[in-house]
Amino acid sequence: MRRWTRALAVAATAVTTVLGTGTLAQAAQKPNYYALGDSYAAGVGAGNFLDTTCYRTDASYSHFWLTAKGRSAFGSVANRACSGATTATVKSTQLGDLDAGTGWITLTVGGNDVGFTPSLTTCVISSDAACTTAVQASVGKANSALPAALASLFTAIRAKAPNAKVYVVGYPHLLAPATSGTTCGTLTPAKRAVINHAADVLDDVTRNATTGRSGFTFVDPRNRFAGHEACTSAPWMQGVRLDETIKTLHPNISGHKQYADLLLSVTG
């Protein structure tokens, strides 16, 4: 009886080994690093556009991070980030081939959920009062609707990629502080104060959504970008671009390199 038991145990181990090897081999054929998210993750504001649908570029923070980590450290990689993406569209269009073999994910999202871009447009072209009203509406959405939207997305990511390390990268302050004495075109100190406050709310809500969630890490760029916002003497952010409006208030090449360096300090 013991010999039969031992024989069955050996056979079961052999079957498990074969199936396990097959599963790992199958997973290894798929990308094990995904860049997900919105225009900040796509690299808008830096480098050359690689497409005219999602406006991914060749100078996104994921590109520089991947280069710094060393391409040989990964299997294949995929950039799914897309300008205009919300938590819902990331969930519906960017998670398709994540699986148990996905080891790394970077993600920036949330600004489009709260209508941050239209609010910024209002701030550029309208009065202080109109800017404040528009940005406060975005802040209200960030506090009321974004937590549940992020939770739903994070749950979907974990279900698709149970083994992935997920780095949720936040937004910097976009503009020189209101107290800096710096001029910034139509973006008055009052406007800059409410816009930077909105970035704080977005980051705080996103940080809270990752807290206690296994395998998720929030990466906060605000301190790194301090003193290098748009309208400072050495900006890592694009200012108001009338020639290429899509780049307005997005990180430039230096900004994406700083994002990548910050990621590297967190991920090792």
Catalytic residue numbers read 39, 250
By three-state DSSP, how is residue 207 classified? helix
How many angstroms separate the CA atoms of 44 and 150, rounded? 22
**Contacts for 6-15: CB closer than 8 Å, 24+ residues apart:** none
DSSP 10-63: HHHHHHHHHHHHHHHHHHHTS-SEEEEESHHHHTTTSS-BS-SSS--BTT-HHH
219, 170 contact by CB (below 8 A): yes
* Centroid of chain to Cα 173: 15
3-class DSSP state for residue 91? helix
Alpha helices for the chain (secondary structure H): 2-28, 39-42, 61-69, 87-93, 116-125, 128-144, 146-160, 189-210, 222-225, 253-267
Cα distance between residue 113 and residue 148, in whole Å: 11
Residue type, 93: T
